[in-house]
Amino acid sequence: MPERDPGQQKRLSMAQESYIKDISVILSIYNENESLPELVERIRKVMADNGFSYELIMVDDGSRDGSWDTVRRLAGGHDDIRGISFRRNYGKSAALYCGFRAAEGRVVVTMDADLQDSPEEIPEMYRMIAEDGYDIVSGWKRHRKDNALTKNLPSKLYNATARKITGIRLHDMNCGLKAYRNEVVKNIEVYGEMHRYIPYLAKNAGFDRITEKPVHHQKRKYGKSKFGVERFVNGFLDLLSLWFLSTFGKKPMHFFGFTGLLTFLVGGILAVWIIIEKLLQQSHGLPYRAVTDQPLFYLALVALVIGVLLFLAGFLGEMISRNSPERNHYNIRETF
């Protein structure tokens, strides 16, 4: 990797000084009461051993097992824990969104609260952000401890599809253990179930220095997984939505208009061809079928109608896009 020039080093140093903490660790918690004391103890030990200044942002996503009471108890007498509690379960994306908004560390680390992610991976991930200059370091659970049939195989298929569509060469896009430069999390919006695709959101926002680090994955010690096989179906649909929005979000006419025009032309050509064929057969005294007796004619009419509707959808999409307050929102790297 090329060395930074003195100007870059100076700017990096100034950026480092502008943050209150070295690291912000964000935990999304949903019914993980039993694992929290051990996890917090391990995080504190890692931070102390490496001399990091840090904050631990614990977001309780509407737990019903006393997790929030445990968070309050763990924070008692310490100033390293900041807590956020939802009145109901909103999902991991909502928890990360609020955690990102609150984070004040130079590097932001996210990890699951079920003890399957190892806090001991944090120092190296921090170094890769702070020294190597990456925007995102994503964990790669190379040797998973999950069920091979219900987790490993679907995960491989899911990640292969994600790599193909996003162009980001990550083996484990959905790994909860990730590290980000603070600027990244402040310039993306995580919503719905889009937490699976934060690297893709970051790439679309202009943060394309993305890499991965093999991390140690552990078997679940307490409780049970909150996600089922259906998350892979939902994840695929979310991926298509993100791809479409990033590609055509600000130019809907390019998709709907082109598709509608193509469909309309196909339908029109078919309809004209059927009519001309009937007239030619009739003029030469050959047996012929009435146009309205041919199923292909009705398919042509359907294509014509669909083409018009798609074109109108693109036109309306353009009108909405031009009146959107986000139409001229751009991420600017720096100005002078």
Q: What is the pLDDT of residue 35?
A: 93
CA dist 189 and 201 (Å) reads: 8
Q: What is the pTM of this model?
A: 0.73
How far is Cα 189 from Cα 60, in angstroms, rounded to an integer? 19
Answer yes or no: are the C-beta atoms of 159 and 172 closer than 8 Å: yes
What pLDDT, on a 0 to 100 scale, did the predictor assign at position 226?
Answer: 58
Structural domain ending residue among the three candidates 207, 232, 248: 248
What is the reported pLDDT for 150?
A: 55
Are residues 122 and 74 both part of a single domain?
yes
d(CA 52, CA 44) in angstroms, rounded, equals: 10
pLDDT given at position 240: 78
Residues 144 and 225 occupy one common structural domain: yes
Domain boundaries, position 96 = 6-248
Choosing from 216, 248, 280, the residue where a domain stops is 248
Q: Evaluate whether 117 touches 140 at the Cβ level (below 8 Å).
A: no
Structure-block tokens of residue 13: 């140093």
91 shares a domain with 150 = yes
* Domain shared by 114 and 230, yes or no: yes
Q: Which pLDDT does position 236 carry in this prediction?
A: 73
Domain assignment present for residue 275? The answer is: yes
Kindly list the distances between the CA atom of residue 327 and the CA atoms of 249, 251, 323, 324, in Å, as whole numbers in the listed order. 10, 10, 7, 5
Place of tokens 């480092």: 16
Number of domains in the chain: 2
Tokens of 46: 């890692």
> Are the C-beta atoms of residues 103 and 185 closer than 8 Å to each other?
yes
Q: Which residues of the chain have pLDDT under 70?
A: 1-18, 145-152, 223-232, 249, 324-336
What residue has token string 């999390």?
185
Do residues 240 and 257 share a domain? no
Q: What is the pLDDT of residue 7?
A: 44
